[in-house]
Amino acid sequence: MRLSIDVLLDYFVDDSAEVLLQIEAAAMADQRLEQQDLRVYCDNPLRAMSGEEGIGQRTWARASGSFQAEYRAVVAIDRAPVDLSSLPPTAMAELPAEAIPYLLPSRYCESDHFEGFVQSEFAGLEGGALASAIGDWVRENLTYASGSSSGVTTAMMTFADRRGVCRDYAHLLVTLARAGGIPARCVSAYAPGVDPPDFHAVAELWLAGGWHLIDATGMAKCGEIARVAVGRDATDIAFMTVFGTATMYRQVVKVTRLDDAVRNGGVG
């Protein structure tokens, strides 16, 4: 699967502030960057560094007044579908160092408050069978509602409200997985078919020696997701963090399946 990605961020930054961007698709074994171009319009030099776990790239900019960023890329994804329910459990003592932090509670994923619920709701399940059941539960018990949450909404609040956006679905899935002893992290991503079109958030769970993507909203297939960044929760994967105040004028995220675009006469 090949994806065309086109992003525009158009903001006004009050006074002067540091801006941290995470909008570039990550170069990884299962997703190859065929083309990539990031342009940031500001008066100060940029500074780039690796993202969490060495995945993706963070870019620092200092902005004052008008601030724009444009990103375009073509990403080839080579990721075979996996039947999660068939994957065996991994004993905690056998987990690699990289997975252990993702067993622990974090700011938006209060997994220590959900252990009793997971034990009762998913009794007898472990490993991939538990992961698959949790993904199904989140998908079936939440309602996707734009504007129903905010930047302070936690997994516990989403669990109580039973509605949210992709970030909330990812937070709750990650939280329940951690409560069940499965390392889980949040992933910012690009994917076609996301409605409304925007930066997308999914979950990634450690099973059978590797990370496996799950989109609890059901909008994105595993083989059509291009990772941008990974982290404990939305704090680590935000596409743009302003250390000050800013006003959004315009934000556009367009992700197109190139094969579909060719059949329909080209990329518009």
DSSP string, 131-172: HHHHHHHHHHH-EE-TTS--TT--HHHHHHHTEE-HHHHHHH
Ordered structural domains, the chain, with CATH: 2-78+240-263 (2.60.40.2250), 84-236 (3.10.620.30)
Q: How many angstroms separate the Cα of 166 from the Cα of each of 45, 142, 149, 220, 265?
A: 33, 10, 10, 11, 31
Q: Which residues of the chain have pLDDT under 50?
A: 262-263, 267-268
The pLDDT assigned to 264 comes to 54
pLDDT at 268: 39
What the block records as the tokens of 82 is: 């996996």
The model scores a pTM over 0.85: yes
Q: What is the pLDDT of residue 43?
A: 83
| Rg of the chain in Å (alpha carbons) | 19
* Measured distance CA(92)–CA(70) in Å, rounded: 42
Q: Rounded to 5 degrees, what angle do the CA atoms 178, 179, 180 make?
A: 85
Cα distance between residue 72 and residue 51, in whole Å: 19
Residue of 201, 197, 203, 196 lying closest to 175 (CA atoms): 203
pLDDT at site 260: 66
Say how far residue 237 (Cα) sits from the centre of its chain.
7
